[in-house]
Amino acid sequence: MKVLLVNGSPNKKGCTNRALEEIAATLQAEGIESEIYHIGIKPIAGCRACRACAKLGKCVIDDVVNEFVNKAAEFDGFVLGSPVHYASASGIATSFLDRAFFSAFMAGRGEVFKHKPAAAVVSARRAGTTFALDQLNKYFSISEMPIISGRYWNMVHGATAKEVEQDEEGLQNMRILARNMAWHLKCRKAGEAAGILPPADEAITFTNFIR
């Protein structure tokens, strides 16, 4: 069982990464493998709404997004981490996630994310965290992904990774979140061994309000 931890911060070793490191260490203690995936600092274009992914089987913009979707297929769970910029997830994380989730769905690769547990983690100096968390959680709820929680909102505070070390409650919640993720994955594996199958699919119905 493996969990992919996505660092959506321009700073590879900043506050968001410190939160993800706490999760990774706890997952390891629970016998769950993990990997931190840094989106990077290169510009990432937003979705063009061209829907070419439905024909190509991947996003028409062939960059780190396609690399990530292919990599994500190998993992059993996800944690999306982002700093808070203007009370929202970072711009680079938003462009990245919009295209990753939409292109996977349109390309008929929904299994990359579907039914896999996921959690969102945000970091901020002071405020804007709850809105950013809500924004990230929407990627999961539209993709039939169980959302894993901690005992509080999944956030850490500090202007630097060193300051995050002082947020004892925030880091504790990262550990609780990681143990909850590990428990869910172990329960899922036990269920599969017992022959418990995923829910049956239905054909998707779209309702347009303007006809």
DSSP strand pairing (88-89 vs 118-124): unpaired
Question: Which of 93-107, 125-139, 195-209 shows the lowest per-residue confidence on average (mean pLDDT)?
Answer: 195-209
Q: 92 — alpha (psi -120 to 50), left (phi > 0) or beta?
A: alpha
Q: What angle do CA 189, 193, 194 make, to 5 degrees?
A: 115
The percent helix, strand, coil of the chain (3-state, each to 5) is 45, 15, 40
What's residue 110's pLDDT? 87
What's residue 186's pLDDT? 98
Q: Residues 44-86: pLDDT tens digits?
A: 999 999 999 999 999 999 999 999 999 999 999 999 999 999 9
Alpha-carbon dihedral 7, 9, 15, 16, rounded to 10 degrees:
-30
Question: What is the pLDDT of the chain when averaged over all its residues?
Answer: 96
User: What phi, psi does 80 have (nearest 5°)?
Assistant: -100, 120
Q: Residues 105-149: pLDDT tens digits?
A: 999 998 999 999 999 999 999 999 999 999 999 999 999 999 999
pLDDT at residue 211 is higher than 90: no
Write down the domain spans for the chain.
2-193
Host H or E run for residue 160: none
What is the third-level CATH fold of 2-193? Rossmann fold (3.40.50)
